[in-house]
Each structure stands twice: as C-alpha cells, then as structure tokens.
Amino acid sequence: MNKIAIFFGPLDGAVHKVAEKIKEAIGEEKVVMVPVKDATVADLEKYDKIIFGISTVGRETWHAKYNNDDWANFLPEIGKTRYEGKALAIFGLGDHVTYAATFVDHIGLLGRELMENGATLVGQVSTEGYEFDDSEAVIDGEFIGLPVDEDFEPELTDERVNNWVEQLRPRFGF
C-alpha cells in the first residue's frame, strides 16, 4: 500500500495528539493511522512508509505501574519482519525536566530494534535546542528521531513537527 502509516500508541495521550498533527502536516488523505494496541506484524508488512510514535514511560514501569501497555504488547512484533527498502522514522514523547537522564529513551529502544532488523531510519534531529542530561535516543551525536515534550515545551511542538515533516518529505515522497 502506498499510503504512509503512522503506528502510534497509546491512544488519547500526547503521542496521539502529536500523531494527529503529523497527519495534518502530511495531508490527511495520504495517511493511515494505526494504533499499536491491536496491531501485529501483518499490519507492519502492509506498508513501505511508516512513522512510529512512542512515549517513554520508564523501563521499570513499562510492564507495571503505568497504565499503558500498548507498546509493550506491540514491541515483540517489530522483530518478526525485515525493513530493508522501507521509509521509516520515529517520533517520541518525553519530559526533559523530570526525566532529564532518560529523555525519550524509547525512541532509542525502538530504533535499535528496527535497525537490528535491517531498517535505515530518516528524520534524525540535532540535539541543539533540547536540554537534557542523557538519552538512549542519541546515536552519533544526534537524536535518531524527533523528540517532543508536551509536558514542558508544548509551545515548541508545532514548529518541531512542521520542520520534521518537511525533512521526511523527500524520502517519504508526499
């Protein structure tokens, strides 16, 4: 299918809100929204252009306290297919104040899983303009996807999203 799929989770939170903004910036008619909640590897295999949306909720809370296991259920599906030739990018929600030492770590977690399965990611973002202490999302000095902080920098979201969508345009062909 030639549409761009946005695989996102959880539903109804900040990731969902930003996923909607990305859809609007690309053009609604070119995008399919896929909640990861009930998605499987078969859904991934339908698309050659995929944007993933994930939040970081702390490794220890992933399976436990935090009331969101959409991604915990879907993450094992990621490793069941190969990604060579696909256009792929990740955006991630985080909180750079409360969680400065693990800022948007799950972009890194997901990105590494994809790369181990043949993915080449686009949409790398400079760390300039972000304040944080450490992040697993930084590889070779830049974020491997787009970090968004709706908790402490919501006023920057639209600009970040719009710049990033422009960056994706050539590879995603929209």
Total residues contacting ligand FMN (rule CB under 6 A)? 21
Q: 14 Cβ partners below 8 Å, 6+ apart?
A: 55, 93, 148, 150, 151
Find out whether the peptide bond into 10 is cis, omega within 30 degrees of 0. Answer: yes
CA distance 98 to 48: 36
Q: Write down the least CB distance from residue 134 to ligand FMN, Å.
A: 10
CA distance 5 to 26: 11
Region of 20-28, 29-37, 89-97, 161-169 interacting with ligand FMN (CB under 6 A): 89-97
Burial environment of residue 89 by CB neighbours within 10 A (0 to 12, 13 to 18, 19 or more): buried
Q: Write down the least CB distance from residue 129 to ligand FMN, Å.
A: 16
Q: Applying CB under 6 A, does 36 fall inside the site for ligand FMN? A: no
Strand partners, 173: none
Q: Applying CB under 6 A, does 55 fall inside the site for ligand FMN? A: yes
Q: Applying CB under 6 A, does 161 fall inside the site for ligand FMN? A: no
Q: Which is nearer to ligand FMN, 29 or 60 (CB)?
A: 60
Binding ligand FMN by CB under 6 A: which of 3, 13, 30, 162? Answer: 13
CA distance 107 to 111: 6
Q: Write down the least CB distance from residue 26 to ligand FMN, Å.
A: 20
Q: Which is nearer to ligand FMN, 56 or 124 (CB)?
A: 56
Q: Write down the least CB distance from residue 130 to ligand FMN, Å.
A: 11
Binding ligand FMN by CB under 6 A: which of 25, 51, 88, 93? Answer: 93
CA distance 145 to 52: 9
Q: 58 Cβ partners below 8 Å, 6+ apart?
A: 66, 99, 102
Q: Which is nearer to ligand FMN, 142 or 166 (CB)?
A: 142
Chain residues that interact with ligand FMN, rule: CB under 6 A? 10, 13-15, 55-58, 61, 66, 68, 93-95, 99, 102-105, 150-151
